[in-house]
Every structure is written in C-alpha cells, then in structure tokens.
C-alpha cells in the first residue's frame, strides 16, 4: 500500500483497498512500533474502525465523500476533541475531555478523515524535544536514542514511523518545523490567521498556529486545503478564500527570486547542514530560480524577543488552570486550609519544570516596573523583525535557510541546559514573530544517517508558492523517500 495520501485516495476510488483495510493496517503498525517510538498519548481503535466502516458504506452507496475519505490522520493532543481526552501532555489535564471539537477537527470529520490518535508533545507545547511531556518522551524513529524534536514531536514521529499518513501539529516558535526537520518529513506553519485556532489550547495566542505534517508537499497541500479558511468563531482568523494549493504545485521555478538568508549561515550552523543547503541552492539555480543574498538585520534578537513574548502570553494563558473549575486538584489535606494553598499545591504538583520556568519568566516580564523594559520592548523589536521580512519580500519572492542548527540530538543532551535547548529554535521563531508562513522539508542526511532539513519562508498567505518549490524539489530528488530502517 502507498505511503502517499493522494495516491491512497486514488486507490480508494479504483477499489484497490477499503477504508477499513487501510485503518487496520495503520493500527497494526501502531501496535508494532508505538512501544519503541511513543508518538501517541491515546489511540481509539474502535472509533477509528467505526469511522472507516461509515466511509466504506457511503462509498458503496454512491454517496459523496470528503477529500480525505478513509485517510488516517493523527492530531496533536493540544487540539480539542469532544469526548476524547485532550491532555496537552500535562498532568494538569490528564483526564480532561473537552465539550466540543476544535474547528480543524470538525473540518477533518467533514472531509471523512479517520482520526486515528492523539499525539505526544512537550507539556503545553513548551519545549523543543518532547522530553517535557508528563507522559514520557517521544523517540526519533531514525535513532531511538535521539529526540524527535518538539513540541509536536509525536505528530512528526508518527508520520516518520508510518503510523499515520498525515498529522496536525501546532507551531508557536517552530514546533511543527523543528520536529519535521528531526524526523525527515515536511512540516508547514501557515500564515497567522490562515487556520482557525478555535479549540487549540493556548500557549502564546499571538504566535500559535495549527499546521500539517506529511511525507510530501502534495499531501501537505491536501491537508492544508482541508483545514484552512475563515472561522467566525475565531477573532484572529483571516477572512480570505482558500486557494487550491494542489493546482499550483507543478508550476516551474524559472525566474523565482529566492533570498538566501546570510545571517543563518554564520557561527553555530552544523557544517553538514550548511553543505546540504548549498547543494539545494545549486539545484534551485539549475531549475531556473534566482538565488540572491539577503540580510535580516534584527534576526539576532529573535530568540530573546520570542521568549519574552511567548513566556508573557503563557503566564497569562495558563493562569486559568487554578484547580477550581477543571483539571488536576491536589489531594493533599494541608491544601484544604485555604484557597491560596489549594492553588499553590495543585499547580506545583501538576505542572512540569519547563512550564513553571516559562510562567515565572513571563510573570516577571509583565510585572510592575518591568513591563516596559521587557514585554513592551520585545513588542517593538518584534515589529522591527516583521519590517525586516516585509523589506526582504520587496526584493525577493521567498527566503531560504536551514531549519535547525544541528540534526536531532541525543535524549538528555540539552535537558539540563535550557538556553542551549532554546537556541534550537533560533531559525524558526522568526516566522511566528512576523506572522508569515514557513515550511521545513528534507534535503539531505548527515554522515550518521540523520535527516537534514531546509526551511522556506514566504510573504503572508503565500503557502502555495512554498509548497510549489518543495514539490518541484521532491519531484527531482529522493530525500523524501528515505525511511527509518527500524520500521
């Protein structure tokens, strides 16, 4: 059976296989590989097979079907699913069952997709390795001793391990693209407002965005077409029509101006990654694109700006978890003395160290006497970073650089050094700060056989052009066809 959602859809129409057969195949793969990878926090086989039977019955009856009919899709466990536990990778929400489906889940169901499971993540999406999940880390399918990236580590790893064809992750500072890079798949962060955030449990509301992960640009386009679009229930959702990203994939690259971000090829970038991207640049030039050097003067402030803004918004958003309305509440008898003791004990017991660290950073940045020095200044620098992108896009059509400074690192290697971990996002946070779309895609391998990833940025709402470049590259290369040997 194919590992392409587009090809699988054609096979359904030609009667080569049924939705039940396909779903059972992926459930079997989960049974075989999940104990090694730990990509999922929950899998509902009965629900998935029941949904697949409905798809087959509709097909046999000649009824119209959605564009993802019979396709297994995994969903990051930060996205609300009605009557299905949504934990955010946290003990705080270990038993939480949302009363409604997120808009993207409603769209998947309307498209007759098969929701096969909820994927693991760094707690409340705060992390770059999925080592901060309260329920155990996700292992990288390419090397089980290495991390899968984060925070959407489970969403990337389940695709890389062939346990789902498509998955949904979320990206606040690189949380789709960085794990996609480590796991050798395609991961796209859409323009802020392109995909509804209703039902996405918030980390940093001005940065969060839901997006697709898949093996190919073609499958990524299919999933993005399904979930994108205006949502009146989300005040940040953009009232714009959704183009057919699939229809523009085969357009040639001749004359396309691609800015090479010189700032991202300086100290700190792994030599093998630099060489792989130089090879990619040469390929683009041979394909008719026009590479041009570009500078983003304020990119050096990206990490500092991001961690002030994101931590401040996290401090505000996570204040709702007070153990009074829902979520974990301490059973310690001493906490029954007063309300404040109950708050303190419950949050101390239920939240992990990384979440606590970011809440404290954000609370400090927002506190009286420090707001202007930290949060307000961070917003001003964020504006300058956005201006850098706008200026660059007046000269070029797209921007190109590495996704990560290194390939997947070993588990535990950076967990005791928060700053080192934060620097893993040095090339990805800029897209979130500027609100522009960006895509990560495999373009090589290290000498140890680990995936190497490149990153493309585009102007707002130009996801189609990003996917066009990736598709053209994948049509002439084999990197996206490489698979981890264990599976």
CA 318/CA 321 separation, integer angstroms: 6
H or E segment to which residue 456 belongs: strand 451-457
Return the SS3 of 22.
helix
> Burial level of 346, CB count in 10 A (0-12/13-18/19+)?
buried
151 is catalytic: yes
CA 347/CA 330 separation, integer angstroms: 8
Phi-psi region of 361 (alpha: psi -120 to 50; beta: other; left: phi over 0): alpha
- What distances in angstroms separate CA 359 from CA 215, 319, 348, 449, one per listed residue? 35, 9, 12, 37
133 is catalytic: no
Of 151, 167, 196, 346, which one is the catalytic site residue? 151
CA 29/CA 99 separation, integer angstroms: 30
Return the SS3 of 145.
strand
Q: Residue 359: CA atoms inside 13 Å, Cβ hemisphere, count? A: 17
Task: Please name which of 309, 314, 342 lies closest in space to residue 328, comparing C-alpha atoms.
Answer: 342
CB-based contact 408:149 (threshold 8 Å): yes
Token pair in block for residue 51? 């949904």
Following DSSP, what letter does each residue of 285-321 receive, concatenated?
Answer: HHTT-EEEEE--TTGGGHHHHHHHHHHHHHHHHGGG-
CA 171/CA 184 separation, integer angstroms: 17
85 alpha carbon, distance to own chain's centre: 20
Of 90, 152, 175, 312, which one is the catalytic site residue? 175
H or E segment to which residue 172 belongs: none
189 is catalytic: no
For 143, phi then psi, to 5°, come to -160, 105
Q: Residues with catalytic annotation?
A: 76, 151, 175
């Amino acid at each position: 059976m194919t590992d392409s959602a587009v090809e699988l859809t054609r096979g359904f129409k030609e009667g080569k296989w049924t939705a039940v057969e396909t779903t059972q195949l992926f459930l079997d793969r989960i049974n075989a590989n999940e104990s090694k990878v730990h990509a999922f926090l929950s899998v509902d086989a009965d629900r998935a097979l029941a949904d697949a039977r409905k798809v087959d019955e509709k097909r046999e009856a000649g009824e119209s079907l959605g564009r993802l009919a019979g396709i297994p899709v995994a969903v990051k466990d930060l996205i609300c699913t009605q009557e299905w536990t949504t934990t955010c990778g946290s003990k705080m929400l270990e038993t939480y069952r949302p009363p409604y489906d997120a808009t993207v889940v409603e769209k998947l169901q309307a498209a007759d997709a098969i929701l096969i499971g909820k994927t693991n993540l760094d707690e409340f999406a705060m992390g770059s390795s999925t080592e901060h999940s309260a329920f155990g880390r996700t292992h990288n399918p390419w090397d089980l001793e290495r991390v899968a990236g984060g925070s959407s580590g489970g969403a990337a790893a389940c695709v890389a391990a062939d346990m789902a064809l498509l998955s949904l992750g979320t990206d606040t500072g690189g949380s789709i693209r960085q794990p996609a890079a480590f796991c050798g798949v395609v991961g796209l962060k859409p323009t802020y407002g392109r995909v509804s955030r209703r039902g996405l449990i918030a980390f940093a509301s001005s940065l969060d965005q839901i997006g697709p992960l898949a093996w190919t640009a073609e499958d990524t386009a299919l999933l993005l077409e399904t979930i994108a679009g205006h949502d009146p229930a989300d005040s940040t959702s953009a009232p714009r029509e959704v183009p057919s990203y699939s229809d523009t994939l085969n357009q040639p690259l001749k004359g396309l101006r691609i800015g090479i971000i010189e700032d991202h090829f300086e100290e700190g970038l792994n030599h093998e990654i630099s060489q792989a991207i130089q090879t990619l640049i040469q390929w683009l030039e041979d394909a008719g694109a026009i590479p041009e050097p570009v500078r983003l003067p304020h990119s050096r402030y990206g990490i500092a700006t991001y961690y002030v803004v994101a931590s401040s918004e996290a401090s505000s958003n996570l204040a709702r978890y007070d153990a009074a309305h829902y979520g974990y509440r301490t059973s310690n008898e001493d906490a029954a003395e007063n309300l404040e003791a109950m708050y303190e004990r419950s949050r101390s017991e239920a939240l992990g160290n990384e979440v606590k660290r970011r809440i404290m950073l954000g609370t400090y940045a927002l506190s009286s006497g420090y707001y202007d020095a930290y949060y307000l200044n961070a917003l001003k620098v964020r504006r300058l970073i956005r201006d850098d992108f706008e200026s660059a896009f007046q000269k070029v059509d797209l921007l190109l650089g590495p996704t990560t400074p290194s390939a997947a690192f070993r588990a535990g290697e950076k967990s005791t050094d928060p700053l080192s971990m934060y620097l893993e996002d040095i090339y990805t946070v800029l897209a979130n700060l500027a609100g522009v779309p960006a895509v990560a895609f495999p373009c090589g391998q290290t000498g140890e056989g680990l995936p190497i990833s490149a990153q493309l940025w585009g102007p707002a709402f130009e996801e189609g052009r990003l996917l066009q470049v990736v598709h053209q590259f994948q049509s002439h290369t084999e990197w996206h066809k490489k698979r981890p040997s264990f599976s």
